[in-house]
Chains A and B, each alone.
Chain A
Amino acid sequence: MKIYWILLGMLLSSVLQAAPKKVIALSWEATEYLLALGVTPLAVADRQDYQQWVVEPRLPEQVLDAGSRLEPNLERIYALKPDLIIINPALAGIQANLQKIAPTLLLDSFRVDHDNANAAERLQRQLAIQLNRLAAHEAFLEQQKTELTRLRHAVNQRFKGQPPAVCIVRFASPTRYWTYGDNSMPEAAMAALGIKNACPQPRSAWGTHLRQLPELARLDTGLLLHIAPFNRQADLERSALWQALPVVRTQRVRALPAVWTNGGVTSITRIAQVIAKALN
């Protein structure tokens, strides 16, 4: 099967010499798709923040900054003369403007009415076809699948088939936190590892919900994994309620390194990696 795809890819590449080479990604999930396909984008939006918040996959040094994700710099994009621009629905309002500069592809990755994890794979494939990179896409998927299977085995072995449930949160303030439920990338990572979500939430477009600290008191079983960085960590840990939480008293809290929760397939694998590491 794979060999046919590769053949098809080669055929396409010989026919379509004009496959886009200079691509600008104006959303972080699109940046992730491109890097996964082995395509180095010409420029991405919010380059510095990407390096701080998404971290992986690493952005090569030569990639330029295209301005903010809310209002990318149209004049710079124009001056860079890209062959393809990729946006998400936040920029749908300026798609017509971008279209004047170069063909613009809108990737709608996060919706309440589709499965975000499946959509990430589907959209990355769509991009691969457009960029003539189908072979790379297939190889990438294979590699991710292998890695996830390996992680799943490791976790299963470690807990003898009974891994603990985990609850993944990101603190917003010492009293409130975002948690990840149905349709979120962390839950997709848990599913891939065969782990249950210890704090299930109703389905939403991004799968995140803002919650209050006392709700963590109901976390009887499983581990609490909180995503760094949180700059008021000390305030939180000092508070009496935090110290009295069952999950804290029984030392079932682990910190996760900076990991991006609104990305694509790479993000899922990376979340799975940090979960597996935290469980060890």
Chain B
Amino acid sequence: MKRPAWSLLALVTTQLAALHIQIGTPLSLAQQWQALHEVQSLEQLIFVHTHLPRTALAVILGMVMALAGGLLQLLTQNPLASPMTLGTSAGAWCAIVLAGVLAPTLQLPLEWLALGGSLFALTLVGALAGWRQLHSLNALLAGTALNLLLGSVAAIAVMLNDQYSRTLLVWGTGDLAQNDWAWVLWLLPRLAPALLLIPLLCKPLHLLQLGSQAAAAAGLNVMRLAIITSLLALWLNGLAIAAVGIIGFVSLLAPALARLLGAHKPADNLGMAALLGAITLLLADIVAIWLSHHLADLLPTSAAIGLLGGPILIWLCLKLPLASSLPDATGHPFRRQPTALIGWCLLAALILLLSAISGKDAAGHWLISWPDAGLWALRWPRMMAACAAGMGLAIAGLILQRLLNNPLASPDLLGISAGASLGMLIGLGIGTSLSPWLFSSSGAVVVLLALCWLAPRQSPARLILLGIGLSSLLEAALQLVLAQGNQDSFQLLNWLAGSTYHTTPTQAIALLGTVLILGGISLVFARVLLLFGLGETLAQAVGLAVPQARVLLLLLAGLLSLAISSQFGPLAFIGLVLPQLAIQLGARTIKDQLWLASLIGAALLGLADLASRTVFFPSQIPVGALASLTCGSLLVIGLLGRRRRLA
């Protein structure tokens, strides 16, 4: 790394910090200088207690977040790893929300809650993706799925306490505004472990770049290094979240940009990332302050950084080299005897029947009887829509997993649901009386078209990366709406949690029809799916037109995802887990897997619908969030079971 680059970056940082101070205050430089010695006017007071700490915090937190991301990237050797993409920020936020809603009187220290939540999330990502796969796409897939899941858990908690949570929403959206130096002074002593440890970690991290086996052979205790580095990264990120709420992107962009600028050695990379982090956050906050001056509403810093960082992230996703994941070599160690599909059909029908006739009466007691016409008219559209969504997601997940040869692929990662949500957001922003469905589906269509255009030109793994980039952009845009803490925020949260509440009979029938037709087409193409499962080279060898087949399969999965997510928003984990579950339950052929996965999908979502109506009676929880939670837990249980059998 050359010296001029360092000086230049340092210069830019100071320049931006100076600009950041100037943009907020109407004081002249002389008055500002005077304010440092003696406060005379109110403006000087605001300057000393609001603008200066805000600038200081932007510089410090920019560095802190960049270091957190940089450490994770160096450790995992994954250029796109960060607290945001690995789901640990979502874990921290979820922990803070749950503690705030469940035990508001306890006032637990936020930084420890954040650390606990993010540790939990990292453990899950490790278990899902495999600890040795953290360098690959798998870690990002698991992280994004976890992001969606934890997001919907937090959303349920917030919605069950909506009046109370309004302040929680406003606080959690990542804003740097300050009232005094308290947070800066709070932060500084807690950064001490980082300053002490990072110089010690640089050398072993450098050694790790040889690969973990070579590093271990050279006498490095890889396990100890991994634990210390990840704890440090999560601690740093937890501090940032406790201080200002979630501000994504910096932790991802700064170290990645440092690498693009040629800083590859850990010491260089971390140092330069820290400077770039400060620059990014200062820049974003300048935009946020400037726009808040000119708009009627306040713009949180996190939204500004999303607007700046989203496009860069998408560009990075398309540009950065990324290790492709190893094929799932462990396979599925145990298989039961294949069960007749007819048995599963009967079981699914029984479950659906039970969910259809169960409910609670006016007094809240269980009522299991055939519903009368009026009740039935209220019940069947949402139940049918839920079942159709379960089937569709299972089919789409299966197609994608075969296409990418990756058991962690799932339709909510295609970016289509993110497109639908962004469309919905825009619709809310415009505030027309048009159906919100119109906006969400057009958002989804735009992404699907882009995918079809990109599909022949980019590898499928890149397309998934693009979807992840879009999801991150969506999260940033969401902050903007949620930060207002008004009625719109809750409607949006509710929609994002996958509610089937507003489904009309026509929509339900149309959705079921679409899913059945597309599912039928997938059945026809079962052989193509099988060939893809054997690998693209082999598929080409037996005479399959791979590029065309790839577009076709993507289109199938994309259309399914579009039909579902334009109505219910993103539904995490369902499409990921069900195809796997079908294999575990003994599906041997693609056709069996398709049938079984969609049957389980329908039955599971039917049950989720029943639970949504009855568990928190008379309040309801969105079906999607419930089903995601169930599938997520199934996956974790399955993984733990597999570990035990292997041990």
- A: residues with CB less than 8 A from B are 46, 49, 52-53, 64-76, 78-80, 90, 93-94, 96-97, 100-101, 171-176, 178, 202, 206, 208-214, 217, 230-232, 236, 238-242, 244, 246
**In the complex, A242→B182 CA distance in Å?**
12
Instruction: Give the shortest distance, in Å, between B35 (CB) and chain A (any CB).
Output: 12
B483-491, B512-520, B594-602 - interface stretch: B483-491
Is B163 a contact of A241 with CB atoms below 8 Å? no
**In the complex, A79→B104 CA distance in Å?**
35
Is A80 a contact of B362 with CB atoms below 8 Å? yes
B44-52, B303-311, B405-413 - interface stretch: B44-52
B613 at the interface (CB under 8 A from A): yes
Question: Do A71 and B499 form a contact, CB below 8 Å, given A49-B162, A212-B298?
Answer: yes
Is B618 a contact of A67 with CB atoms below 8 Å? yes
Is A231 a contact of B104 with CB atoms below 8 Å? yes
B45, B49, B166, B379: which contacts A172 (Cβ < 8 A)? B166
Is A70 a contact of B491 with CB atoms below 8 Å? yes
Chain A residues lying within 8 Å of B175, measured Cβ to Cβ, are 173, 175-176
Instruction: Give the shortest distance, in Å, between B236 (CB) and chain A (any CB).
Output: 23
Ranked 8 nearest A-B pairs via Cβ: A240-B180, A239-B179, A79-B362, A175-B177, A73-B618, A172-B170, A241-B179, A67-B618
Is B159 a contact of A76 with CB atoms below 8 Å? no
B298, B379, B504: which contacts A210 (Cβ < 8 A)? B298
Instruction: Give the shortest distance, in Å, between B358 (CB) and chain A (any CB).
Output: 11
Is A65 a contact of B45 with CB atoms below 8 Å? no
B87-95, B135-143, B191-199, B370-378 - interface stretch: B370-378
**In the complex, A65→B494 CA distance in Å?**
20
Q: Which chain B residues (602-620) contact chain A, with CB distance < 8 Å?
A: 613, 617-620
**In the complex, A269→B588 CA distance in Å?**
71
Is A175 a contact of B179 with CB atoms below 8 Å? yes
Instruction: Give the shortest distance, in Å, between A57 (CB) and chain B (any CB).
Output: 18
B49, B163, B179, B490: which contacts A52 (Cβ < 8 A)? B163
Question: Do A75 and B378 form a contact, CB below 8 Å, given A172-B167, A241-B180?
Answer: yes
Chain B: interface size category: 35 or more
Is A78 a contact of B166 with CB atoms below 8 Å? no
Question: Do A101 and B159 form a contact, CB below 8 Å, given A68-B620, A217-B46?
Answer: no
B525 at the interface (CB under 8 A from A): no
Is B167 a contact of A231 with CB atoms below 8 Å? yes
Most buried by A among B46, B483, B613: B46
Is A97 a contact of B378 with CB atoms below 8 Å? yes
**In the complex, A102→B70 CA distance in Å?**
60
Q: Which chain B residues (168-218) contact chain A, with CB distance < 8 Å?
A: 170-171, 175, 177-182
Q: Which residue of B lies closest to A71 (CB)?
A: B501
Chain A residues lying within 8 Å of B182, measured Cβ to Cβ, are 238-240
B38 at the interface (CB under 8 A from A): no
Instruction: Give the shortest distance, in Å, between B564 (CB) and chain A (any CB).
Output: 19
Q: Which residue of B lies closest to A172 (CB)?
A: B170
B50, B485, B618: which contacts A76 (Cβ < 8 A)? B618
B49, B167, B361, B620: which contacts A241 (Cβ < 8 A)? B49
**In the complex, A59→B451 CA distance in Å?**
54
Taking A69-B162, A244-B45 as given, write out 17 further A-B residue pairs in contact, using a Cβ cutoff of 8 Å, ordered by the A residue number. A67-B620, A70-B494, A71-B501, A73-B613, A74-B378, A75-B360, A75-B378, A93-B502, A94-B501, A100-B377, A175-B175, A176-B175, A209-B296, A212-B292, A217-B45, A241-B45, A242-B179
Chain A residues lying within 8 Å of B359, measured Cβ to Cβ, are 75
A70, A75, A172, A232: which contacts B375 (Cβ < 8 A)? A75
Is B362 a contact of A76 with CB atoms below 8 Å? yes
Chain B residues lying within 8 Å of A210, measured Cβ to Cβ, are 170, 297-298, 483-485
Is B486 a contact of A206 with CB atoms below 8 Å? yes
Chain B residues lying within 8 Å of A239, measured Cβ to Cβ, are 49, 179-180, 182
Most buried by B among A65, A68, A208: A68
**In the complex, A130→B393 CA distance in Å?**
47
Q: Which chain B residues (451-509) contact chain A, with CB distance < 8 Å?
A: 483-487, 490-491, 494, 499, 501-502, 504
Contacts A/B (CB < 8 Å), 5 sampled: A73-B618, A173-B171, A176-B175, A211-B298, A214-B50
Question: Do A174 and B618 form a contact, CB below 8 Å, given A70-B159, A75-B360, A76-B360?
Answer: no
Chain B residues lying within 8 Å of A68, measured Cβ to Cβ, are 159, 162, 619-620
Q: Which chain B residues (533-589) contact chain A, with CB distance < 8 Å?
A: none
Q: Which residue of A lies closest to B173 (CB)?
A: A173
**In the complex, A100→B380 CA distance in Å?**
14
Q: Which residue of B lies closest to A214 (CB)?
A: B46
Question: Do A70 and B490 form a contact, CB below 8 Å, given A209-B296, A241-B179?
Answer: yes
Question: Do A240 and B375 form a contact, CB below 8 Å, given A76-B618, A246-B42?
Answer: no
Is B45 a contact of A176 with CB atoms below 8 Å? no
Chain A residues lying within 8 Å of B166, measured Cβ to Cβ, are 172
Most buried by B among A208, A217, A230, A246: A217
**In the complex, A202→B296 CA distance in Å?**
9
Chain B residues lying within 8 Å of A64, measured Cβ to Cβ, are 362, 618
Chain B residues lying within 8 Å of A214, measured Cβ to Cβ, are 46, 50
**In the complex, A270→B417 CA distance in Å?**
45
Instruction: Give the shortest distance, in Å, between A227 (CB) and chain B (any CB).
Output: 12
Question: Do A213 and B298 form a contact, CB below 8 Å, given A70-B491, A101-B374, A176-B170?
Answer: no
**In the complex, A246→B501 CA distance in Å?**
50
**In the complex, A159→B364 CA distance in Å?**
54
Instruction: Give the shortest distance, in Å, between A94 (CB) and chain B (any CB).
Output: 6
B163, B170, B177, B613: which contacts A49 (Cβ < 8 A)? B163
Instruction: Give the shortest distance, in Å, between A129 (CB) and chain B (any CB).
Output: 27
Instruction: Give the shortest distance, in Å, between A150 (CB) and chain B (any CB).
Output: 31
**Interface 1/0 per residue, B423-457 and A, CB below 8 Å:** 00000000000000000000000000000000000
Question: Do A173 and B167 form a contact, CB below 8 Å, given A67-B620, A78-B378?
Answer: yes
A69, A175, A238: which contacts B178 (Cβ < 8 A)? A175
Chain A residues lying within 8 Å of B360, measured Cβ to Cβ, are 75-76
Instruction: Give the shortest distance, in Å, between A41 (CB) and chain B (any CB).
Output: 14
**In the complex, A75→B171 CA distance in Å?**
35
Is B378 a contact of A240 with CB atoms below 8 Å? no
**In the complex, A67→B160 CA distance in Å?**
10
Q: Which residue of A lies closest to B167 (CB)?
A: A172
**In the complex, A75→B484 CA distance in Å?**
32
Is B619 a contact of A213 with CB atoms below 8 Å? no
**In the complex, A52→B104 CA distance in Å?**
15
